[in-house]
Amino acid sequence: MLAVNPSLAPKPRPTLPVPIKVLIADDSAVVRGLVARWIGEAGFTVVGTASNGRIAVEMMTRHDPDVVLLDIDMPELDGTEALPRMLAASPTVQVVMMSTLTTRNADISLKCLALGAVDYLAKPESNRGVTTSDAFRAELVERVRLFGAARARRRGPAPAPIAPGTPTSPSLSSAPPATAPRPSAPIVLRPKARAVTPRVFLVGASTGGPRAVGEMLEKIGAATLRRVPILIVQHMPPIFTAVFAEHLATRTGLTAAEGKSDERLEPGRIYVAPGGRHMGLTGGPGREPVIRLDDGPLVNFCRPAVDVLFKDAATLFGPATLSVVLTGMGSDGTHGARALVEAGGAVLAQDEATSTVWGMPGSVAKAGLAQAVLPLPEIGLALRALLTGQGA
């Protein structure tokens, strides 16, 4: 057998991070220029800018972007018309809708989420507002980072350029990175809560939530939902939450609206936390629980915050509380979920595979606070069983 000098043996090719490719579609040249600059400064690659939806759709096949920032109002082909064509061209592309904060645009944005957009971003009302808003810039960059990384991971790392003369072979060219990703820690489920008939049903969600919440409630069914009041904290700006409630009312056939201070809880009614305000509960011995709203500090960088509602419910309803944490970035809901399980309540969480972002439900699951971690299609069925006393 011939001896082989180890220094001459072919080595696995190093890998480089896959660049996140972004396409910007907006009829304002000022917005396109600013956003392109911000994206570039954040280390992402702008593969194209388009002044209308037609041009943007044509760019899809040429550039295969990971993320599309898609304005709603554009000439020739607007965002709502361009969206389905983009998804047809590239089913995995991550489309973030952008619009100014109006009731009309909130309604359109929510419809686009139902059609396959992954998120929405409220734009300042003027070009000057876009120029001076640090918050808008930070939110935009964070969404590109989040959704771009999610899509890029599916493609795997990009190989580094091969130096001339480097030995190669089919087996080496497809070798995995030298450093494999660490396996995730196993999820430990909490024992099922003691069988108590739920008196209230709580929902917490963020990114990807509007579509997930609607699908889940539909799966539970109106007949079952009429047994309890349903309180929802969905991270959204003002105006959007009121429109979101209207969409839920249409989808479920139940009465749904933003919660109001001192409003009594009625079975079969959906209460949505108003954008920009915390929604909790107040009550006490001999007093019926009612909704409370406040403008207190951000909790987990959020207002409304899931933790606020969950903690109040733990105090007032204890083991008669049923809750679920759905898709969303961050960890809002984890402290509240801990309070709920310590009070004897039940917490379920959406699984990673069906979550747009496995931040909030992942945090709850990894903390060992969920009695079940389920894909979205199964969560509604599990909740229906618990609400009807069949899931004990």
Answer whether 49's CB lies under 8 Å from 32's CB. Answer: yes
Say which of 235, 247, 278, 335 is annotated catalytic: 235
| Residue 63 a catalytic site member | no
Which is it for strands 67-71 and 21-25: parallel, antiparallel or unpaired? parallel
CB proximity list for 279: less than 8 A, separation 6 or greater: 231, 233, 259, 271, 273, 291, 292, 293, 304, 308, 309
Smallest Cα–Cα separation from 86: which of 110, 118, 109, 53?
53
Rounded Cα distance, 364 and 357, in Å: 13
**Residue 326 burial (CB < 10 Å; 0-12/13-18/19+)?**
buried
**Residue 49 burial (CB < 10 Å; 0-12/13-18/19+)?**
buried
Answer whether 97's CB lies under 8 Å from 68's CB. Answer: no
Which is it for strands 255-258 and 269-272: parallel, antiparallel or unpaired? parallel
**R_g of the chain computed on alpha carbons:** 24
Say which of 51, 99, 109, 206 is annotated catalytic: 206
Say which of 332, 335, 355, 363 is annotated catalytic: 332
Rounded Cα distance, 122 and 62, in Å: 28
What sign has the CA pseudo-torsion 146, 151, 154, 156?
negative
Report the largest interatomic distance among the alpha carbons of the chain, rounded to a whole angstrom. Answer: 90
| Residue 278 a catalytic site member | no
| Residue 206 a catalytic site member | yes
The H or E element spanning position 271 is strand 269-272
Two tokens, residue 133:
């808003």
End-to-end CA separation in angstroms for the chain: 67
Burial annotation 104-117 (CB, 10 A radius, 16+ → b, else e): ebbbbbbbbbeebb
| SS3 per-residue string spanning 206-257 | CCCHHHHHHHHHHHHCHHHHCCCCEEEEECCCCCHHHHHHHHHHHHHCCEEE
CB atoms within 10 A of CB 76: 12
Active site residues: 206, 235, 332
